[in-house]
């Protein structure tokens, strides 16, 4: 009888497993995403640290949650992203470009938590103890409650944690970790998957929260199988331009709180500092009297945030018009330009267009639409928009301005920052109660917007 093959194939995108290589993944329909990885011998029962009570079904009333107190990270901005602090036994993935500040932020969290008397273990597979010390010196004083370990062998790490469970563990980074019983190289799909699995068992079994650092690919998702995101409880990403000083931490998945909350930080000489008034921060240095610049009010999670939207429209010199966007979906910009052409008769077909959200934030909220449209029109006509005007609203394909949620919060944030005029969807105006101190203008469609002559 032929020996059973010990190779399986995984989809890099969704973790779909197959006995043979496939051109297209049946799971997520991605092409050319299968990679080879040796099968893993299961370690029967070795990881399971469950008590007998946990193996018998219980009622909700029998579950004791009094000990489930969340641990504060010392950064209210990060706590909000995590849904109010660190939950015991949570497995949290921190992703982001290299050098954006993942290790720095986590070391600062270690410092804050260890200074409250809790034991913290920082495991690095990337840097030497000396390198970590140099970084720690920039950040400040540490207590002896923080222990460091340079190790990449997960079996060793598992023993260290089981022997003396700390109250928080940091794994920097998952791509450097390996398990001896998996034959592939560290960073490969099989290793990343099995390492995360082992860490999940540890976190759940000992109720120790674990932060995992994950590197991202060119496309901006955590390297290794997409499945990594399914396995962990919380996924947070760093956004922002590495060359600018601010960093945005965004929760994209959270089993213990709302997602899409953001926290804003600033990189300084002494590590990251949280920014408690992000709107002010993001609007800093806004050009005065320049065309193509509009301030929009967005909702990130539960919090209103003001961002500057910029557009530059210029005549194409030859051939195909160029269109680029930063911080907003490229296709959305194309769609909005098509709506402007069709509904307002403005010919943008022979124009280059560049649209940018200042501050490195990535915006997905459709409430930004109206600001993008206004910025494009302002740049096209070379007519600046008054600096004290704020805009929000979704634009539909027939040029109608559709309602958005949480209008009252948006208007009050604008008021707080001294804006005097607000252009918003007419249908959402009913939700407003207090409009003193700000002129609110409701618009129904793009033609109405044009007739405002803002």
Q: Is the Cβ–Cβ distance between 257 and 83 less than 8 Å?
A: yes
Which stretch, 65-73, 96-104, 222-230, 347-355, contacts Mg ion (CB under 5 A)?
Answer: 96-104
What are the C-alpha distances in Å from 48 to residues 43, 162, 201, 204? 10, 12, 7, 9
The secondary structure element, H or E, covering residue 153 is: none
Q: Is the Cβ–Cβ distance between 364 and 400 less than 8 Å?
A: no
Which stretch, 99-107, 152-160, 199-207, 281-289, contacts ligand TYD (CB under 6 A)?
Answer: 99-107
DSSP characters over 202-243:
HHHHHT--EEEEEEB-TTSSBSS-THHHHHSSEEEEEES-TT
Q: Is the Cβ–Cβ distance between 282 and 276 less than 8 Å?
A: no
Name the phi and psi angles at 250, rounded to 5.
-120, 135
271 binds, among ligand TYD, Mg ion, none (CB under 5 to 8 A by kind): ligand TYD
Which one, 179 or 215, has the nearer CB to Mg ion? 215
User: Cα–Cα distance between 393 and 442 in angstroms, integer?
Assistant: 10
205 binds, among Mg ion, ligand TYD, none (CB under 5 to 8 A by kind): none
Q: Which of 30, 38, 89, 135 binds ligand TYD (CB under 6 A)?
A: 135
Residue 379 near Mg ion by CB under 5 A? no
Beta-ladder partners of 121: 147, 169
Residue 90 near ligand TYD by CB under 6 A? no
Q: Which of 73, 103, 184, 428 binds Mg ion (CB under 5 A)?
A: 103
Which stretch, 92-100, 156-164, 304-312, 386-394, contacts ligand TYD (CB under 6 A)?
Answer: 92-100
Q: Which of 57, 61, 98, 285 binds ligand TYD (CB under 6 A)?
A: 98
What are the C-alpha distances in Å from 168 to residues 17, 86, 382? 33, 9, 55
User: Cα–Cα distance between 92 and 162 in angstroms, integer?
Assistant: 19
Nearest approach, Cβ of 289 to ligand TYD (angstroms)?
34
Residue 138 near ligand TYD by CB under 6 A? yes
Q: Provide the strand spans (E) within 225-378.
A: 234-239, 246-254, 262-268, 271-274, 293-300, 303-315, 323-326, 351-357
Which stretch, 82-90, 158-166, 266-274, 373-381, contacts ligand TYD (CB under 6 A)?
Answer: 266-274
User: Cα–Cα distance between 365 and 413 in angstroms, integer?
Assistant: 17
170 binds, among Mg ion, ligand TYD, none (CB under 5 to 8 A by kind): none
Which stretch, 35-43, 98-106, 111-119, 400-408, contacts Mg ion (CB under 5 A)?
Answer: 98-106
Q: Which of 56, 66, 269, 317 binds ligand TYD (CB under 6 A)?
A: 269
Which one, 273 or 415, has the nearer CB to ligand TYD? 273
For the chain, give the number of residues.
Answer: 454
- 187: Cα within 13 Å, side-chain hemisphere: 6
Tell me how many residues contact Mg ion (CB under 5 A). 1
Which stretch, 141-149, 203-211, 264-272, 350-358, contacts ligand TYD (CB under 6 A)?
Answer: 264-272
Q: Residue 208's closest CA among 311, 31, 88? A: 88
User: Cα–Cα distance between 274 and 76 in angstroms, integer?
Assistant: 8
Residue 101 near ligand TYD by CB under 6 A? yes
Which stretch, 94-102, 283-291, 332-340, 381-389, contacts ligand TYD (CB under 6 A)?
Answer: 94-102
Residue 292 near ligand TYD by CB under 6 A? no
Residue 96 near ligand TYD by CB under 6 A? yes
Helices assigned H by DSSP within 324-398: 330-344, 369-381
**How many other β-carbons are positioned within 10 Å of the β-carbon of residue 185?**
10
Which one, 102 or 410, has the nearer CB to Mg ion? 102
Residue 102 near ligand TYD by CB under 6 A? yes
Residue 175 near Mg ion by CB under 5 A? no
Which one, 146 or 337, has the nearer CB to Mg ion? 146
Q: Which of 23, 45, 57, 99 binds ligand TYD (CB under 6 A)?
A: 99
Helix (H/G/I), strand (E/B), else coil: 129:
helix
Nearest approach, Cβ of 127 to ligand TYD (angstroms)?
8
Residue 108 near ligand TYD by CB under 6 A? no
Residue 240 near ligand TYD by CB under 6 A? no
Residue 270 near ligand TYD by CB under 6 A? yes
Which one, 214 or 257, has the nearer CB to Mg ion? 214
* Interior angle at CA 398, CA 394 and CA 402, nearest 5: 25
Residues at the site binding ligand TYD, with contacts judged by CB under 6 A: 96, 98-104, 135, 138, 267, 269-271
Residues at the site binding Mg ion, with contacts judged by CB under 5 A: 103
């Amino acid at each position: 009888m032929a020996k059973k093959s010990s190779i399986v194939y995984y989809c890099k995108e969704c973790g779909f497993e197959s006995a043979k290589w496939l051109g297209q993944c049946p799971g997520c329909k991605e092409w050319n995403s299968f990679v080879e990885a040796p099968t893993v011998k299961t370690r029967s029962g070795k990881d399971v640290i469950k008590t007998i009570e946990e193996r018998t079904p219980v009622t909700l009333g029998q579950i004791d949650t009094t000990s489930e107190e969340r641990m504060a990270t010392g950064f209210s901005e990060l706590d909000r992203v995590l849904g109010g602090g660190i939950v015991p036994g949570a497995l949290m993935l921190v992703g982001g470009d290299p050098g954006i500040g993942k290790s720095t932020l986590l070391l600062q969290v270690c410092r804050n938590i260890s200074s409250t008397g809790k034991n913290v273990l920082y495991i690095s597979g990337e840097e030497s103890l000396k390198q970590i010390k140099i970084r720690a010196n920039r950040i400040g004083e540490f207590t002896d409650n923080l222990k460091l370990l340079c190790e990449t062998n997960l079996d060793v790490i598992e023993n260290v944690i089981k022997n003396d469970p700390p109250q928080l563990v940091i794994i920097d980074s998952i791509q450097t970790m390996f398990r001896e019983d998996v034959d592939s190289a560290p960073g490969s799909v099989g290793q990343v998957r099995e390492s995360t699995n082992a860490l999940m068992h540890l976190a759940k079994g000992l109720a120790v929260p674990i932060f995992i650092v994950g590197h991202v690919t060119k496309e901006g998702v955590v390297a290794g199988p997409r499945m990594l995101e399914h396995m962990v409880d919380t996924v947070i990403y760093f956004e922002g331009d590495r060359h600018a000083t601010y960093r945005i931490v965004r929760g994209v998945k959270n089993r213990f709180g709302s997602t899409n909350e953001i926290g804003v930080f600033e990189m300084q000489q002494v590590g990251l500092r949280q920014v408690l008034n992000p709107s002010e921060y993001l609007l800093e240095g806004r050009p005065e009297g320049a065309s193509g610049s509009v301030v929009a009010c967005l909702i990130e999670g539960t919090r209103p945030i003001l961002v500057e939207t910029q557009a530059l429209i210029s005549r194409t010199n030859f051939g195909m018009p160029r269109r680029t966007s930063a911080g907003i979906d490229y296709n959305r910009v194309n769609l909005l330009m098509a709506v402007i052409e069709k509904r307002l008769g403005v010919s943008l077909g022979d124009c280059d267009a560049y649209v940018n959200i200042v501050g490195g934030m990535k915006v997905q909220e459709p409430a930004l639409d109206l600001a993008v449209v206004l910025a494009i029109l302002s740049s096209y006509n070379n007519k600046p928009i008054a600096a004290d005007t704020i805009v929000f609203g979704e634009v539909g394909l027939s040029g109608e301005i559709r309602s958005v949620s949480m209008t009252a919060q948006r208007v009050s944030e604008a008021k707080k920052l001294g804006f005097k005029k607000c252009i918003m969807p007419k249908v959402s105006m009913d939700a407003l109660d207090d409009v003193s101190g700000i002129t609110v203008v409701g618009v129904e469609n793009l033609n109405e917007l044009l007739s405002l002559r803002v």
